[in-house]
C-alpha cells in the first residue's frame, strides 16, 4: 500500500479537489490510503470560532457562518444536485459542532480546541470522499479517531503505538482507496485529540509504519524539498535526494515542508518518503531515504518567525550552574515552551523559544523570583545547515543580530 498526504492548499477550493482527483488518475489510486487536511485556511477560521466561543463574543455565530459558507460554496461548485447526500452529511457535521458549543461544560481550553478545530478535517474528507464517489472513483471513508489512539494531551497528543498498530493493521482494507483525516486521534474516552499543528504528515507516517507501506508521498504546491522557503529567500533550489538524517535535521530546525515527527517512524522501517508537486505530479520531486551520500551540498536556510528570546541572569552574580539550568528547563517544559536555541555564559542563560500556547507572562513571573529576566519578542531565528560565510553574511545583512551560534554543520542567528 502507498500512503498519500494532501494538505490544505491542495483542497482549498473545488478546482483543488478536482485536481486531486486528476492526480490520482495519473499516478494510480489502487491500494492507496489518502490522508487529507482541512481545506485552505479552515483551521485558522475555526480558531476564530474558538476565540469567540471562549470570550463569549457576540461574533460567534458570524464566525461559524463564515466556515459554513466557505464549505457550502465548495459543495455548490462540485455537485450539480443540491439534493446530493453530501449536503446533508456536511450539515450534520456543523450541527454536531454547534451542539458541542451549546452543551460543553469543560473549562479546559486545549480540550475545547481539539473538539472544535478537528471538524475541519472531518468536513474536508467527507466532501472529497463523496466527490470521488460522484466521479466514479469508489473509496472507503475512515474516521481516523477510530485508528490512531493517543493520551489526553490535547493539542499535542502522544500516540499509543501498540493500540494504534493493532487497530490499523486489523481494520484498514488493502487493495482499495481509503480516505482519512490528518492531524487527529482520540483518547481512551474517545474524545478527539490533535497531534500538533501541521500534523497531517505525521498521520501519514503513522499509517505507513503500521501498514508496512511501500512509500509515503506528501503532495505540495512546491516541486519538492527546497534548500530555502521561497517566501523568504530568493533563488531557492530543489534538493533531489536527501537522507533521513538530513530531513530530520531540517524538520527539527523548522523546515515547514515536512513535519518534525514524520521521519522517525519511516526511518525505523526504511519506508521511502517522496515530496512532490500536485501541480506537476509526474515530476520526480524529492526522495528521502537511507544513505549518508544523500546530503545536500548547497547551504539550506530555515527561518522561524515570531520567536521569543529570553535571557536570564543571576540576581547576585553567582554562576548559573547545572541545578539552575535543570530548574529552568523544568519550567520551560511545564509552560510548554518549544526551545530552538540555547546559549549560556557564567552568569547568564539565553533561550530562543516558540511560545505557541501564550504562557510566557506566567513563566516570566515565576522566573523573576530567582533571575533577572530580559526578553525580545517577535524575533526571527535563522538556521543555516551546511553554512559558509557567504550564506551567513546574506542572512545577517541589514539586520540586528542578537545571538549567533556555530557548530560543525549548522549556524543559527537570532535577529531583530
Annotated binding site: 121, 231
> Which value, to the nearest 10 degrees, does the dihedral of the CA atoms of residues 272, 275, 281, 285 take?
-90
| Under 8 Å between Cβ of 306 and 378 | yes
Distance CA 256, CA 35 (A): 18
Q: What angle do CA 120, 122, 125 make, to 5 degrees?
A: 105
Which residue ranges are tagged as binding site for substrate? 121
Q: What are phi and psi of 3, to 5 degrees?
A: -115, 125
- Is residue 240 within 8 A of residue 287, CB to CB? The reply is yes
Residue written as grid cell 452543551 = 103
Contacts of 242 (CB under 8 A, 6+ apart): 225, 250, 286, 287, 288, 294, 295, 296
| 3-state secondary structure string across 76-130 | HHHCCCCCCHHHHHHHHHHHHHHHHHHHCCCCCHHHHHHHHHCHHHHHHHHHHHH
* CA dist., res. 25 & res. 282, Å (int): 11
216 - beta bridge partners?
Answer: 3, 273
Binding residues for ATP: 231
What is the C-alpha separation between 174 and 172, in angstroms, rounded? 6
DSSP string, 268-300: HTT--EEEEESSSTTS--EEEES-GGG--SS-E
| Sign (positive or negative) of CA dihedral 385, 390, 395, 400 | positive
Residue with C-alpha cell 493500540? 163
In this structure, are strands 410-415 and 371-385 parallel, antiparallel, or unpaired? Answer: antiparallel
Q: How many helices (H) and strands (E) are present in the chain, helices listed first?
A: 13, 16
- CA angle 181/186/188 to nearest 5° reads 160
Alpha-carbon distance 102 to 34, whole Å?
A: 33
- Cα 305–196–39 angle (5° rounding)? 85
Amino acid at each position: 500500500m502507498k500512503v498519500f498526504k494532501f494538505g490544505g492548499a491542495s483542497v482549498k477550493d473545488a478546482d483543488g479537489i478536482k485536481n486531486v482527483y486528476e492526480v490520482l488518475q495519473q499516478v494510480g489510486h489502487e491500494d492507496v490510503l489518502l490522508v487529507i487536511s482541512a481545506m485552505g485556511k479552515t483551521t485558522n477560521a475555526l480558531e476564530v470560532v474558538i476565540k469567540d466561543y471562549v470570550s463569549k463574543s457576540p461574533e460567534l455565530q458570524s464566525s461559524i457562518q463564515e466556515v459554513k459558507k466557505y464549505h457550502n460554496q465548495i459543495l455548490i461548485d462540485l455537485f450539480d444536485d443540491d439534493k446530493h447526500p453530501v449536503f446533508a452529511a456536511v450539515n450534520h457535521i456543523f450541527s454536531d459542532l454547534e451542539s458541542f458549543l451549546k452543551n460543553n461544560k469543560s473549562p479546559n481550553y486545549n480540550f475545547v480546541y481539539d473538539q472544535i478545530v478537528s471538524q475541519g478535517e472531518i468536513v474536508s474528507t467527507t466532501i472529497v470522499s463523496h466527490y470521488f464517489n460522484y466521479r466514479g472513483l469508489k473509496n472507503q471513508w475512515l474516521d481516523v479517531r477510530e485508528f490512531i489512539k493517543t493520551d489526553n494531551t490535547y493539542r499535542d497528543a502522544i500516540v499509543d503505538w501498540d493500540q494504534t498498530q493493532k487497530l490499523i493493521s486489523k481494520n484498514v482494507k488493502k487493495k482499495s482507496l481509503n480516505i482519512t483525516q490528518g492531524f487527529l486521534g482520540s483518547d481512551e474516552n474517545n474524545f478527539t485529540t490533535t497531534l500538533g499543528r501541521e500534523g497531517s504528515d505525521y498521520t501519514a507516517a503513522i499509517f505507513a509504519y503500521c501498514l508496512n507501506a511501500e512509500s509515503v508521498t506528501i503532495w505540495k504546491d512546491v516541486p519538492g524539498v527546497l534548500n530555502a522557503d521561497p517566501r523568504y529567500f530568493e533563488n531557492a533550489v530543489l534538493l533531489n535526494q536527501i537522507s533521513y538524517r538530513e530531513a530530520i535535521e531540517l524538520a527539527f530546525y523548522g523546515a515547514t515542508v515536512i513535519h518534525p515527527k514524520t521521519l522517525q517512524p519511516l526511518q525505523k522501517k526504511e519506508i521511502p518518503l517522496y515530496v512532490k508537486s500536485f501541480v506537476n505530479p509526474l515530476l520526480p520531486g524529492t526522495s528521502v531515504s537511507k544513505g549518508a551520500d544523500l546530503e545536500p551540498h548547497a547551504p539550506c536556510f530555515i527561518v522561524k518567525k515570531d520567536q521569543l528570546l529570553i535571557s536570564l541572569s543571576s540576581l547576585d552574580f553567582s554562576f548559573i550552574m547545572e541545578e539552575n539550568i535543570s530548574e529552568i528547563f523544568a519550567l520551560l517544559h511545564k509552560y510548554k515552551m518549544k526551545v530552538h536555541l540555547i546559549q549560556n555564559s557564567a552568569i547568564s542563560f539565553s533561550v530562543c523559544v516558540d511560545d505557541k500556547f501564550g504562557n510566557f507572562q506566567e513563566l516570566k513571573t515565576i522566573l523573576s523570583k530567582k533571575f533577572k529576566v530580559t526578553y525580545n519578542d517577535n524575533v526571527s531565528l535563522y538556521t543555516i545547515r551546511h553554512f559558509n560565510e557567504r550564506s551567513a553574511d546574506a542572512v545577517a545583512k541589514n539586520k540586528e543580530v542578537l545571538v549567533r551560534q556555530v557548530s560543525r554543520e549548522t549556524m543559527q542567528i537570532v535577529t531583530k
